[in-house]
Amino acid sequence: MRTIAANANESKVSASNLGDIVSRRFCPSFFETDFVKIILPLLQEADAGAAGVLDEDGNLCGLLTERAILRHMFARTSDKLVHPANVKKYIDDMVVGDVMIENPECVEDDISIEDAAAQMLKRGYRFMPVVSRQDRRKLLGIVSEGELAHHLKQQLEVLRKTENTHKSLLSYMLCEPYGRGYQPKQIN
């Protein structure tokens, strides 16, 4: 397993774009020739539902999700052409290249959280690779819909606090300087 991104700690600092999110944590990535039976425990240990797939040059070539792995395994176990005695061997020999999503749709690191969430919702994706705007082959991390929802919630809380502060300030200003409150002038 290869690590991508600066560190594994999720920061409480507000993020403004996807680059801010993925630069703060660990992102697993694998090669197409890695065995699935070996990487599944690594994905579980990393608590990651998805990982990047890199080619020989270290460029993004696919997306690996737990769901894609399970779908592939279930398809093989129910395949009438595969003898039941060979299913375990088939699963043991399965490599990332067999189950990955090839050439996945990506989002760039400078896209806003709101735009990324809208794009994921529109397409129905649970995970999307985040790539560098300067080099769209360079994987920076994987973002999940849950992560985006968390950051959108943080942004909403900040907006609510700001709105309450503005209301309090406006109320204070209308009551000053004599404490009698705002008295609009009457026009005759």
Chain segment 97-137, per-residue pLDDT in tens: 999 999 999 999 999 989 999 999 999 999 999 999 998 89
**Backbone phi, psi, residue 55, to 5°:** -85, -175
Q: With a cut of 50, say whether residue 9 has pLDDT above it.
A: no
C-alpha distances out from residue 138 to 37, 80, 126, Å: 26, 40, 20
Give the pLDDT confidence score for residue 6 in this predicted structure.
41
The identity of residue 31, as a single letter, is F
The values of phi and psi at residue 186, to 5°, are -90, 135
* Helix, strand, coil distribution of the chain in percent, nearest 5: 45, 20, 35
Domains along the chain? 2-175 (3.10.580.10)
pLDDT tens digits, 11-65? 455 677 888 888 888 889 999 999 999 998 998 888 889 999 999 999 999 999 9
The reported pLDDT for the residue numbered 8 is: 37
Residue 79 scores a pLDDT above 60: yes
Tell me whether residue 41 is exposed, middle or buried, using C-beta atoms within 10 angstroms of its C-beta: 0 to 12, 13 to 18, 19 or more: exposed
- Integer Rg of the chain from CA: 24
Structure-model confidence comparison of residues 169 and 75, the more confident one: 75
Three-state secondary structure along 22-81?
HCCCCEEEEECCCEHHHHHHHHHHCCCCEEEEECCCCCEEEEEEHHHHHHHHHHHHCCCC
